Amino acid sequence: MKNAKILMWFFLLFLLSCDKSIKSENSNNYIEPTTPLILISVDGFRWDYFDKVETPNFDRIINNGIKADGLKTVYPSKTFPNHLSIITGNYPSNHGIVSNYFYDPSFDEYYYIGAGSVAAQDGKWIQAEPIWVTVEKQLKRAMIMFWPMSDAEIQGIRPSEYYVYSDSPTNISRMEQLLNWLDLDGRNKPTFLASYFSIVDTIGHRYGPNSSEVIDSIIEVDEAIGHLLNGLEERGILNDVNLLIVSDHGMVETPIDQIINIADYIDLDSVVTIGGGPFMEIRPNDNDIENVYQQLKNIDHTQVFKKEDFPEKFNYYNNDRIEPIIFLADEGWSIQKPGRSPSPGSHGYDPDYKSMDGIFIARGPAFKENFYGPQIQSVHLYEMMCHLMEIVPAQNDGSLAETEVFLK
Ligand code: AMP
Ligand code: ZN
Ligand code: ZN
């Protein structure tokens, strides 16, 4: 009984510690902050979700700012590769987070994500520089309440304040935290702030992109954005911050009668398979790549490639973490092992499918007003954000010229 009580206390203390920001012990030679840049990701918010329901708060951003005709994702259109491309400006083969789940032969370890993931908090996995590291290196502060890998130490650096990822804090409390950080004075004030909402993606998987539940989740996020906008307005700083809202990918319906059962084509005992659903990567145990490749050729609703022949448009090559065979499903089809079935919605397909597009909207002193611009690719945002914060970008695959059309 006594032990149970003690355990309960430890559990409560653990819960409390999860919902607290962590302050880093970086240098204290910070310089004057520049115009704050707030970056928010709404996971799985497809480019056309604005048409589903009134979004008065998103509209306050778009009408006073810019909206792109979609944010084109990088392959694979999954959460971690895309969030890392947004904040490093590199394609996944160059930033190293080639999927949500993959194997690294030199570490002999698997990478995986989710609340509590040890790998997702370990900077050894990342092979490019996230923007918060660029910011902190140039003596400005970054403060982040959730962004993939913002809770990892990278090049010995962490954001000035950050949280270990957890699903539990409410969406409103995430916005409240950003506002509280903006209340800091002088050199304690952040130049870069970021946060993240998971709800639209979670619901999109569970009920499908055309469900009424997705509409409810859009409304919930719109309200949280409203909380942020009101807080900025009350502080008299709404026009003094650059606010960017992005998403990492879209979502498409994945009906259960559109399954490709991988076991119908290859002997699963002779290979290692990684992933499933929109794509599967395959490593033959005996290294007989040609044999497996031949077995997977000419299957309806799929395409198969040897790693070295994967089309250039995917920018997905040249990293040991990519397996020798890449098996791709057509939009809405799911590659599954026996006994597995897809959830009603998914993503991870070829970024050329418009359904995989995310969003890019923004407002603030740097942005044009009431401007609708072209689709842009997410790898170009890093250069733009560095430009807005007056910092020198690290090595990346993006180009500032691609986003200049949105800027004043
Ligand atoms: P996906 O299915 O590719 O959209 O992945 C979404 C999932 O990523 C979320 O439901 C979370 O479980 C996970 N996730 C998001 N942010 C983080 C993070 N910072 N650390 C660990 N896992 C995360
Ligand atoms: Zn996602
Ligand atoms: Zn998802």
pLDDT at 7 over 90: no
pLDDT at 14 over 90: no
**Amino acid sitting at position 285:** N
pLDDT band at 28 (very low <50, low <70, confident <90, very high): confident
Q: Does residue 343 line the site of ligand 1, with CB under 6 A?
A: no
Q: Nearest-CA neighbor of 348 among 90, 82, 83, 147?
A: 82
Give the number of the atom of ligand 1 that is nearest the alpha carbon of residue 43: 4
The answer to whether 191 is a known catalytic residue is no
What percent of the chain lies above the pLDDT cut of 70?
A: 95
Can you tell me the distance from the alpha carbon of 46 to that of 55, in angstroms, rounded to the nearest whole number?
Answer: 14
All domains of the chain, ordered by start, with CATH?
A: 2-253+359-406 (3.40.720.10), 259-342 (3.30.1360.180)
Q: How far is the CA of 408 from the centre of ligand 3 (A)?
A: 34
Q: Does residue 113 line the site of ligand 1, with CB under 6 A?
A: yes
Which residues are found with C-beta within 5 Å of the ion, ligand 3? 44, 201
For the chain, the residue count is: 408
Q: Nearest-CA neighbor of 208 among 252, 149, 250?
A: 252
pLDDT of the residue at 275: 96
- For ligand 1, atom 16: residue with the closest CA: 148
pLDDT of the residue at 3: 59
Taking only the tens place, the pLDDT of each residue in 99-130 is 999 999 999 999 999 999 999 999 999 999 99
Taking only the tens place, the pLDDT of each residue in 336-369 is 999 989 999 999 999 999 999 999 999 999 999 9
Taking only the tens place, the pLDDT of each residue in 360-390 is 999 999 999 999 999 999 999 999 999 999 9
Can you tell me the distance from the alpha carbon of 30 to that of 340, in angstroms, rounded to the nearest whole number?
Answer: 52
pLDDT band at 331 (very low <50, low <70, confident <90, very high): very high
For the segment 385-404, the average pLDDT, to the nearest whole number, is: 98
CB-based contact 231:176 (threshold 8 Å): yes
pLDDT at 269 over 70: yes
pLDDT band at 25 (very low <50, low <70, confident <90, very high): confident
| CA distances for 99 relative to 6, 119, 357, angstroms | 40, 13, 17
pLDDT at 2 over 60: no
Q: Does residue 120 line the site of ligand 1, with CB under 6 A?
A: yes
| Secondary-structure percent of the chain, ordered helix, strand, coil, rounded to 5 | 35, 20, 45
